[in-house]
Structure 1
Amino acid sequence: MLNIDDPKVIDRTPALLRLAFRPFFLLAAVWACIAIPLWLLAWYHPEFSPFAQKFWSNVVPLWWHPHEMLFGFAMAVVAGFLLTASQNWTNQPGIKGGQLGLVVGLWAMARLTLMLPWDLPIWLPASFDCAFLLAVAVKLTVVMLKVRQWRNMVFPVLLFVAAAINLLSYWTLANHNLSLSLQIWQAMIWWLALIITVMGGRVIPFFTAARLKLTKREPITWIEWTTPSLLALMLVNSLVPFLPYVAKVIVLTVAGVLQLVRLARWYPLKTVKIPLLWSLHLGYLFLPISLLAMAYYANNPLLERQLLHLFAIGTMAGVCLSMISRVSLGHTGRNIYQGPNMAPAFLMLAVAAIVRTILPLEQPADSYTWHWLAAALWCGAFGMFVWHYTKILARPRLDGRPG
């Protein structure tokens, strides 16, 4: 079997391109710090936005914001994580060097061509964006088929689905169908909830038990199958609504309760002294809270859409920040639990989720203040990652191994 971690092999690849987590995690954090202020400037102060006129003439602000959070920020983290993890899962070499640079370039060109103040056709950024997702999906498919790792084939399948949904999102932009685009953003929220449910169910209890030297509780099979199935059902229902009101409430409620049961079995209260553990549990906790809150307000589409931010910031961003902080240390040969203190960043994101979601509902007249406060907390959290981890990601492993 190929030894993909041979310390005797001299790797002359630039450190930032040695494994996918390096450029994708760093770019995701940088983009997080850039995209949110740009969005708020465009929404509240278009006269100060660097893209006030020409940019927004072709790209609708209400489309750009969720698209760039889901397909820009979140997909960069997903790609970096899966392309890196697949090397460990399959014992096959990960993508690196020029090939990795090309995939990263596709992601970056999609972001850039959407922002250029020129009259570019929508198919151009759409092509870059979908090519990026397809490249990641194909790479994962090839390595997993090579070793017949059927259990993890769910991830390239989900990426192929995401590429199709992304292409549809560009179609809605080109045809000014904002109603359908709202359905797409909801579908992608469920897509991310699904992938976090699957991956979280594997890594959170494993990391927790290993660090605390506890016996990892075996998953309850029917819960492990039912929970993601319900989320997949919500994904389909977002694109093609078919669930009646009562059925939707039941699905959301049952999914929320089952997520709480899963989390409760992972020893969450024993992690309070270890930020890289409690941050995962805290981020995951926002998922069942979001599901139950959306079930409660299922008869109010406006409030239901507002509550998507509880998941998007609390779970999506929270789990992403915790994972990229952890993976960046482990895969650069550092002690995972002796890295930079990211506890303030994790707390800032949790507070940002509440400030952005709950306070505008309670005090809508002050929404301007809450939105900018949440943005400041968000940027502070990801700014901390950029500050602490740029040198870590841009330098070779401490132990001299490839990767």
Structure 2
Amino acid sequence: MNVIDRAKALSIPPLWRLAFRPFFLGASLYALVAIPLWVMAWLGLLGDWQPSGGWLAWHRHEMLFGFAMAIVAGFLLTAVQTWTGRPGLSGRPLMLLAGVWLAARLGWLLGLPPVLLIPLELAFPLALAALMARMLWAVRQQRNYPIVLVLSLLAGADGLLLSGLAEGDDGLQRRGAMAGLWLVAALMGLIGGRVIPFFTQRGLGRAEAVKPWVWLDIALLAGTALIAVLYAAGVALQAQALLAPLFLAVAGGHLLRLARWYDPGIWRVPLLWSLHLAMLWLVVATLGLGLWHAGLLASSSPALHGLTIGAMGGLILAMIARVTLGHTGRPLQLPAGIGWAFVLFNLGAVARVFVYPQAPLAGLALAAGCWSLALALYAWRYAPMLLRARVDGHPG
């Protein structure tokens, strides 16, 4: 609060005062539409309408670089204000960044040709990486430089996918998507390792948070980033057995860290068990992919959806529910129905990972229904908070 020109900040419409507002709202509404749209396309109900690259390419790209990247942007561009003591992005620059993100989403759906879509799409992750780099460099905050590196690699993964789109090469698109998924997983491990023990300690009133094992945090970040690089290079899809030990080691590291964080009291607090369950899904996903790379599972799809729906989706919903409360000046008490939204998200992950392989139509319908209802609950309860000023009268 001390680094902000209060009068100037309060003159900005509430939606544009900090990045979490437009990006949490826009991303949740987009995902609320995108999943039913994908199911309709999968069932052949959309006729001749085709987004850029076709529906599979759109789904593969947009849930990662459209939905998840917007949440990452909202979280990081809000948190960096606290980290650096410098004002975060707001006002017209924030409107411009959000406009670039929205234009790219519409461009994909409207079937823009690659020559127009590619620069429009890449503008957002490149701008995000540059903004974070500028703010962190201004105060020489070396502790958070790895975040800029991961964001830059994410832009590179998006570029790899888009080059595959331009060339009509599905293999390149898959490599870019897989690299992007594991780079987001690296961010999850990095940020989750910092905030989940702290949130757990604060939420349960414990004397102190569990101390991190720095070597383990570094090893998980490096191991997950290595997975992303191997996918981007095409090695992971050509020499599958070589990756099995790496995936199993990352799964073991996350399980060890999760066990250290565990406190039975979390089950009384939805804002806590939702975070812990999301990280447990990350263990399930990495374990499943390790077994698949070892040739012990027939398909990688269940494990991948454990990563995307259970881990990423679950962590996103849990984090935006908490961050929105805190940054709008409200107590950390969930609005009615949001606890059920967490339950629905995890049920949806169970349906997609375990039911879908046996009963595809029922599993997909249940997963999509749970996902959509959970996001609808978030939008219903949280959109008014995101669109209105803080309840304590402060900027932000």
Structure 2 residue aligned with 1:232, among 225, 228, 243?
Answer: 225
Aligned 8 A contact 1:230 1:251 in 2: yes
Where in structure 2 are there 5+ consecutive unaligned residues? none
Structure 2 residue aligned with 1:100, among 90, 94, 97?
Answer: 94
- 1:321-400 equivalences in 2 (<5 Å): 321-361=317-357, 363=358, 366-400=359-393
Is 1:155 equivalent to 2:147 in the alignment? yes
Distance verdict in 2 for CA 1:358–1:34, change over 3 Å: same
- 1:48-87 equivalences in 2 (<5 Å): 48-49=45-46, 52-56=47-51, 58-87=52-81
Structure 2 residue aligned with 1:251: 246
- CA-CA distance at 1:246 after TM superposition: 4.3
Deviations 1:50-75 (A, max 9, x none): xx32434x422111101000001000
Structure 1 residue aligned with 2:190, among 173, 185, 198?
Answer: 198
- CA-CA distance at 1:124 after TM superposition: 2.0
Work out the CA distance in 1 between the residues paired with 2:240 and 2:368: 33
Work out the CA distance in 1 between the residues paired with 2:285 and 2:291: 10
- CA-CA distance at 1:155 after TM superposition: 1.5
- CA-CA distance at 1:302 after TM superposition: 6.1
- CA-CA distance at 1:242 after TM superposition: 3.7
Structure 2 residue aligned with 1:140, among 132, 135, 138?
Answer: 132
Deviations 1:70-98 (A, max 9, x none): 00100010000000000000011111111
> In terms of mean alpha carbon deviation, does 147-156 or 325-334 score higher?
147-156
Work out the CA distance in 1 between the residues paired with 2:333 and 2:258: 22
Work out the CA distance in 2 between the residues paired with 1:344 and 1:151: 36
Structure 2 residue aligned with 1:309: 305
Aligned 8 A contact 2:348 2:367 in 1: yes
- CA-CA distance at 1:204 after TM superposition: 0.2
> In terms of mean alpha carbon deviation, does 178-187 or 6-15 score higher?
6-15
- 1:24-63 equivalences in 2 (<5 Å): 24-45=23-44, 48-49=45-46, 52-56=47-51, 58-63=52-57
Work out the CA distance in 2 between the residues paired with 1:308 and 1:295: 11
- CA-CA distance at 1:121 after TM superposition: 2.1
Q: Which amino acid aligns with 2:174?
A: L
Same amino acid, percent of matched pairs: 38
> In terms of mean alpha carbon deviation, does 260-269 or 311-320 score higher?
260-269
Aligned 8 A contact 2:160 2:172 in 1: no
Q: Output the aligned Cα RMSD.
A: 1.8
- Higher-RCO chain (CA-CA 8 Å, sequence separation at least 6): 1
- CA-CA distance at 1:221 after TM superposition: 2.4
Structure 2 residue aligned with 1:217, among 184, 190, 210?
Answer: 210
- CA-CA distance at 1:340 after TM superposition: 4.0
> In terms of mean alpha carbon deviation, does 338-347 or 242-251 score higher?
242-251
Work out the CA distance in 2 between the residues paired with 1:78 and 1:25: 9
Q: Which amino acid aligns with 2:191?
A: M
SS in 1 for 2:356: helix
Work out the CA distance in 2 between the residues paired with 1:313 and 1:338: 22
Work out the CA distance in 2 between the residues paired with 1:224 and 1:172: 33
Structure 1 residue aligned with 2:167: 175
Structure 1 residue aligned with 2:395, among 372, 379, 402?
Answer: 402
Structure 2 residue aligned with 1:296: 291
Deviations 1:206-244 (A, max 9, x none): 111122122212111221111111111111111224465
Structure 1 stretches of at least 4 aligned residues deviating more than 3 Å after TM superposition:
5-10, 241-247, 338-341
Where in structure 1 are there 5+ consecutive unaligned residues? none
- CA-CA distance at 1:116 after TM superposition: 1.6
Is 1:166 equivalent to 2:162 in the alignment? no
> In terms of mean alpha carbon deviation, does 213-222 or 329-338 score higher?
213-222
- CA-CA distance at 1:6 after TM superposition: 6.5
SS in 2 for 1:401: coil
Aligned 8 A contact 1:189 1:308 in 2: no
Distance verdict in 2 for CA 1:42–1:245, change over 3 Å: closer
Work out the CA distance in 2 between the residues paired with 1:379 and 1:348: 9
Work out the CA distance in 1 between the residues paired with 2:392 and 2:372: 32
SS in 1 for 2:261: coil
Distance verdict in 2 for CA 1:10–1:137, change over 3 Å: closer
SS in 1 for 2:389: coil
Structure 2 residue aligned with 1:286, among 281, 297, 305?
Answer: 281
Aligned 8 A contact 2:101 2:124 in 1: yes
Aligned 8 A contact 2:16 2:22 in 1: yes
Deviations 1:230-276 (A, max 9, x none): 11111111122446544311111111111011011112432001111
Aligned 8 A contact 1:329 1:339 in 2: no
Work out the CA distance in 1 between the residues paired with 2:234 and 2:9: 54
TM-score, normalised by the number of residues in structure 1: 0.93
